[in-house]
Chains A and B, each alone.
Chain A
């Protein structure tokens, strides 16, 4: 069953279409990366999901219900939309106590959530003195207050130092291991590729791709790479077999568009010694840029 469902979701701001007929389902228990260049419509989509922005048309629901129609929404969905939505003069623990009270949750959850994100020691400090990374963690603590099954995070890695990014990666994996559904938007593609199961790529408000990480990258196999001490002989052998081949290193030959089977046959037929052979695949970044470039053409 889908944890989240968008159906023909559209948002126009005046004459600008920010999200254009977006339809997709996010399955339960998956970590989905929500990718797109700046201005792609990611944040607007997430805000429509959470009832903060009213769609021009279409629907965005959790288990068939709009966010505003959920009973005690904090128990169903936790969200972090921006790292700066704090009263700077308020203590971290008070910020969370306020949200817990508003959501009808016990006050002890505030301290528990802060402990969970590693900020128990800073509970009594005012948020105005926090680093960006600490604020991100307070935001995550707020999202976890109601122990929700769904987490929505908008650019949670923004402004984090390498240690913070590493912490965030482990945090996301822990949420997935607990069976939570996570939708995380990001433009840090390398980071997302290490934490997500599925990827949604958006550009100009339109859906470009929605697939598992493996599907996206497997579909983008660019050919085979072979390492050998006889590169010239190998190139001749591959070309004799009707394959495209070129030298891409002192002992490396690439066969664009070739399968492992075809390359293997050519090598065996000509008796060439090779040290390594592997498929050259696009990484997520390559796929992302290819798709978004295509949409701009």
Chain B
């Protein structure tokens, strides 16, 4: 199995979209820090303070988790788009193992993107705060947001593969994922007029993983919810990948 995971990681490294994503991640982090700290104390925003580091560490999460998810979708649905699924399944006829390896590889890739985001954000934010004579405090909230960012991007990478395995048409998979993220999830939560239902929806769980402070769920509870979605969707998707003919 480790050989298949290494194969999937090699596929990622040999593809420009992943390399562009890796190169773009630090840029996203820097722009987010600039946007948050550059407007601190203006336009109704809080001025820089001891909580500013924790606040900015989680700020790029929505962008980079979406990026990891897109890479996951392309990682599986792209095989159908480019017809490389044929050569992939000729080399590894056990289809379930291929999907499992992709889930694992994209979790690793997502985790790497999360770690780069975290490192870059901290590398820009800490000197900024020090220069502004603001105390830099990490604390348990900072540690949680940092760990949550890496965990959330990893889970979103795996979630993307699961979505790709279910839909297999790359364009449709991306459109459905965005529609759910932007519209459907919020509509579902409001439809049932439930304050707690949102905690059990996938992207809300993803956001909760990177949240800290009073009233937030535990990191592991939120991660468990998203993990259940990944496992359920990947299991259903694997069934489809195994059963469908490659014509």
For residue B246, CB closer than 8 A to chain A, the reply is yes
The contact of A102 among B17, B78, B92, B246, by CB within 8 Å, is B92
For residue B14, CB closer than 8 A to chain A, the reply is yes
The tally of residues in A whose CB lies under 8 Å from a CB in B reads: 33
For residue B7, CB closer than 8 A to chain A, the reply is yes
Decide: B83 and A82 in contact? CB cutoff 8 A: yes
Compute how far the CA of A91 lies from the CA of B90 in the bound complex, rounded to whole angstroms. 20
Q: Which residues of B sit under 8 angstroms from A54, Cβ to Cβ?
A: 243, 245
A207 to chain B, nearest CB (A): 21
For residue A101, CB closer than 8 A to chain B, the reply is yes
Select from chain A the residue with minimum beta-carbon distance to B247.
A53
Decide: A98 and B10 in contact? CB cutoff 8 A: yes
For residue B196, CB closer than 8 A to chain A, the reply is no
Q: Which residues of A sit under 8 angstroms from B10, Cβ to Cβ?
A: 94, 97-98, 101
The contact of B14 among A52, A70, A82, A90, by CB within 8 Å, is A90
Decide: B83 and A102 in contact? CB cutoff 8 A: no
Decide: B15 and A87 in contact? CB cutoff 8 A: yes
B25 to chain A, nearest CB (A): 19
Q: A87-B15, A89-B16 are in contact. Are A103 and B86 (CB under 8 A)?
A: no
For residue B84, CB closer than 8 A to chain A, the reply is yes
Q: Which residues of B sit under 8 angstroms from A74, Cβ to Cβ?
A: 90-91
Q: A47-B246, A98-B14 are in contact. Are A86 and B7 (CB under 8 A)?
A: no
Decide: B3 and A98 in contact? CB cutoff 8 A: no
Decide: A85 and B7 in contact? CB cutoff 8 A: no
Select from chain B the residue with minimum beta-carbon distance to A103.
B91
For residue A50, CB closer than 8 A to chain B, the reply is yes
Q: Which residues of B sit under 8 angstroms from A103, Cβ to Cβ?
A: 91-92
State the 5 A-B residue pairs at the shortest beta-carbon distance, nearest first: A94-B14, A102-B91, A68-B93, A52-B246, A85-B83
